[in-house]
Structure 1
Amino acid sequence: MSAATSHYVKLLGREVHYLQWGQPGAPLVILWHGFARNAHDFTELAEALAGDYWLVAPDTIGRGLSQWSPDPVQEYSVPFYAGQAIALVQHLGVDSLRWVGTSMGGLIGMAVAAGPLKDRISHLVLNDVGPEIAPGAVQRILSYAGKPPSFASLTELEAYFRSIYAPFGIVADATWRRMAETSCRRLPDGSLTTHYDPRIATVMAEQAGQAAGDAWPIYDLISAPTLLLRGAVSDLLSPQTAQAMTQRGPRAKLQEIAGIGHAPALDRPDQIALIAEFLR
Structure 2
Amino acid sequence: MIEGPTSHTYFSQRLRLHYVDWGNSEAPPLLLIHGGRDHCRSWDWVAEKFRKDWHVIAPDLRGHGDSEWSADGEYSLRACLYDLAQLIHQKNLAPVTIVAHSYGGNLSLRYTGTFPETVRKLVVIEGLGPSPELLAKRADIPIDERIRKWIDEKRGLAARLPKKYTSLEEAMDRMKEANAYLSEKQARHLTVHGTHQNEDGTWSWKFDNYMRSMPPYEIEQSDLHHLWSRITCPTLLLYGADSWASNPAKDGRGDHFENAEVLEYQNAGHWLHHDQFDRFVSDVGAFIK
TM-score by length of 2: 0.83
Q: 2:227 aligned with 1:218, yes or no?
A: yes
Q: Which amino acid aligns with 1:97?
A: V
- Greater CA radius of gyration, 1 or 2? 2
Equivalent in the alignment of 2:63: 62
Alignment of 1:168-183 (within 5 A): 169-171=181-183, 173-183=184-194
Equivalent in the alignment of 1:126: 124
Structure 2, unmatched stretches of 5+, are 139-152
Alignment of 1:1-280 (within 5 A): 1=2, 3-73=4-74, 76-115=75-114, 117-130=115-128, 132-133=130-131, 135=134, 149-166=163-180, 169-171=181-183, 173-202=184-213, 204=214, 206-207=215-216, 210=218, 215-236=224-245, 238-240=246-248, 244-266=252-274, 268-280=277-289
SS in 2 for 1:88: helix
- Alignment root-mean-square deviation, CA: 2.4
SS in 2 for 1:107: helix
C-alpha contact 1:3 1:21 (8 A) present in aligned 2:
yes
Q: CA deviation at 1:234?
A: 1.6
C-alpha contact 2:112 2:119 (8 A) present in aligned 1:
yes
C-alpha contact 2:225 2:256 (8 A) present in aligned 1:
no
SS in 1 for 2:273: coil
SS in 2 for 1:130: coil
Equivalent pairs counted in the alignment come to 263
C-alpha contact 1:132 1:213 (8 A) present in aligned 2:
no
Structure 1 CA distance, aligned partners of 2:272 and 2:266? Answer: 10
Q: CA deviation at 1:188?
A: 4.6
SS in 1 for 2:36: coil
Structure 1, unmatched stretches of 5+, are none
SS in 2 for 1:112: helix
Structure 2 CA distance, aligned partners of 1:242 and 1:90? Answer: 36
TM-score by length of 1: 0.85
SS in 2 for 1:247: helix
C-alpha contact 1:245 1:251 (8 A) present in aligned 2:
no
Structure 1 CA distance, aligned partners of 2:258 and 2:233? Answer: 6
